[in-house]
């Protein structure tokens, strides 16, 4: 899922998104709640109509962004009190208001309001936190209206395998339309992240979507699909695009590099995105160096197309029962060793 934090996937029109094959995008509840406000969006007919996007939208709960505010927020059993990063005004989000805001936005897939503890959190903190997350998950489910979108539960537990396990059991016990693994990609090593995924996925129902939140690199997608994950969201394709970093099957391209100054080839040979069909690396480098808006547009088109094609190819490989070969080839193309 490309990330559309403020009611737009940065630098793309909805037409661009359809063209690169996006089937669903993510909206950030925290940002939309603060600006332009969920009530305004509801008045305007909901987020889909407001932003001109008629395919599904998943909204996060606002929790992750609120907890990222550090000194600006205070957590209680009821919910979280915090100050806006825009104007310093005070706000409270509880499990009930999070669901209500997501309902106002017209979300197709809503997420439970959870606490995402920092990577540095110790065992006791994480244990207490996930117990509260479980209580909050129950409150989210209870407060949800019958006719609103799907609701996913979130498994927390930090970097502690047994806590991940008990969180998974608790959340699955409540019963949701899908399950997410939260609190990863927060600073831990890749092996530890994969280990935490491996603990959770075997416990998750086969017939419900499994969503790994905020992850990740192309390698992460391949590794975590291999461990049983279905859905991802990440700002990496869009943010890196704006910083001139392009994804290809043979690795990353930093387009500002002098070596591309007179490179008349596309970012990736054979890529069918608008950018690769029409423009050279030399042109993209020029746009980046000249700080042109079109640089962000064309780079984002390519990167989002790359990510969606990757997932489509993974899906195809699974359907053809050839995921193992796919994974091998994926690493070979980037000249990396395959485990």
Question: Cβ 291 to a second copy, closest distance in Å?
Answer: 9
Point out the residues that are catalytic: 60, 233
Q: Does 239 bind a second copy (CB under 8 A)?
A: no
- Pair 113, 79: CB distance under 8 Å: yes
Q: Does 106 bind a second copy (CB under 8 A)?
A: no
Contacts of 297 (CB under 8 A, 6+ apart): 11, 12, 16
Q: Which of 13, 68, 143, 313 binds a second copy (CB under 8 A)?
A: 13
Q: Does 298 bind a second copy (CB under 8 A)?
A: yes
Instruction: Return d(Cα 1, Cα 26) in angstroms, integer.
Output: 6
Would you tell me how many other CB atoms lie within 10 Å of the CB of residue 313? 15
First to last CA, the chain: 27
Q: Which of 234, 236, 297, 317 binds a second copy (CB under 8 A)?
A: 297
Indicate the residue among 5 and 148 with the shorter CB distance to a second copy. Answer: 5
C-alpha distances out from residue 141 to 136, 146, 169, Å: 9, 10, 16
C-alpha distances out from residue 26 to 187, 190, 225, Å: 22, 24, 19
Which range of residues in 38-46, 116-124, 204-212, 251-259 is near a second copy by CB under 8 A? 38-46
Contacts of 7 (CB under 8 A, 6+ apart): 27, 32, 36, 41, 47, 50, 51
Q: Which of 76, 257, 278, 332 binds a second copy (CB under 8 A)?
A: 278
Instruction: Return d(Cα 123, Cα 126) in angstroms, integer.
Output: 5
Q: Does 148 bind a second copy (CB under 8 A)?
A: no
Question: Cβ 277 to a second copy, closest distance in Å?
Answer: 9
Token digits of residue 184? 């990863």
Q: Does 14 bind a second copy (CB under 8 A)?
A: yes
Instruction: Return d(Cα 204, Cα 301) in angstroms, integer.
Output: 34
Q: Which of 61, 97, 107, 296 binds a second copy (CB under 8 A)?
A: 296
Question: Cβ 297 to a second copy, closest distance in Å?
Answer: 6
Which range of residues in 7-15, 167-175, 179-187, 307-315 is near a second copy by CB under 8 A? 7-15
Instruction: Return d(Cα 166, Cα 111) in angstroms, integer.
Output: 19
Which spans of this chain sit near a second copy (rule: CB under 8 A)? 6-8, 10-15, 35-36, 40, 43-45, 50-52, 261-262, 264, 274, 278-280, 282-283, 285-287, 289-290, 292-294, 296-298
């Amino acid at each position: 899922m490309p990330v559309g934090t403020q009611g737009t996937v940065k630098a793309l029109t909805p037409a661009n998104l359809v063209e690169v094959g996006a089937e669903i995008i993510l909206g950030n509840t925290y940002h939309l709640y603060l600006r332009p406000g969920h009530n305004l969006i509801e008045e305007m007919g909901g987020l889909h109509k407001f932003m001109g996007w008629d395919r599904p939208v998943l909204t996060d709960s606002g929790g992750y962004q609120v907890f990222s505010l550090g000194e600006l927020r205070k957590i209680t059993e009821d919910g979280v009190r915090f100050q806006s990063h825009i104007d310093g005004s005070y706000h409270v989000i509880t499990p009930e208001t999070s669901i209500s805001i997501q309902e106002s936005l017209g979300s197709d897939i809503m997420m439970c309001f959870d606490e995402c503890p920092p990577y540095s959190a110790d065992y006791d903190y994480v244990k207490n936190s996930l117990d509260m997350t479980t209580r909050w998950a129950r409150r989210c489910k209870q407060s949800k209206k019958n006719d609103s979108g799907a609701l996913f539960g979130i498994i927390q537990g930090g970097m502690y395998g047994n806590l991940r396990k008990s969180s998974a059991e608790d959340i699955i016990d409540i019963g949701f339309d899908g399950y997410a693994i939260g609190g990863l990609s927060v600073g831990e090593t890749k092996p530890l992240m994969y280990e935490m995924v491996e603990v959770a996925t075997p416990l998750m129902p086969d017939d419900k979507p499994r969503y790994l939140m905020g992850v990740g690199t192309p390698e992460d997608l391949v590794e975590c699909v291999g461990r049983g994950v279905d859905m991802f969201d990440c700002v990496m394709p869009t943010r890196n695009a704006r910083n001139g970093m392009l994804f290809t099957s043979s690795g990353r391209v930093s387009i500002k590099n002098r070596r591309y100054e007179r490179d008349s080839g596309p970012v990736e040979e054979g890529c069918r995105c608008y950018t690769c069909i029409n423009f050279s690396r030399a042109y993209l480098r020029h746009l980046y160096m000249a700080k042109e808006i079109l640089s962000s547009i064309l780079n984002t088109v390519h990167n989002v197309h790359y990510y969606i094609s990757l997932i489509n190819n993974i899906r195809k490989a699974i359907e053809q029962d050839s995921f193992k070969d796919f994974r091998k080839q994926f690493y070979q193309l980037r000249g990396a060793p395959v485990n």
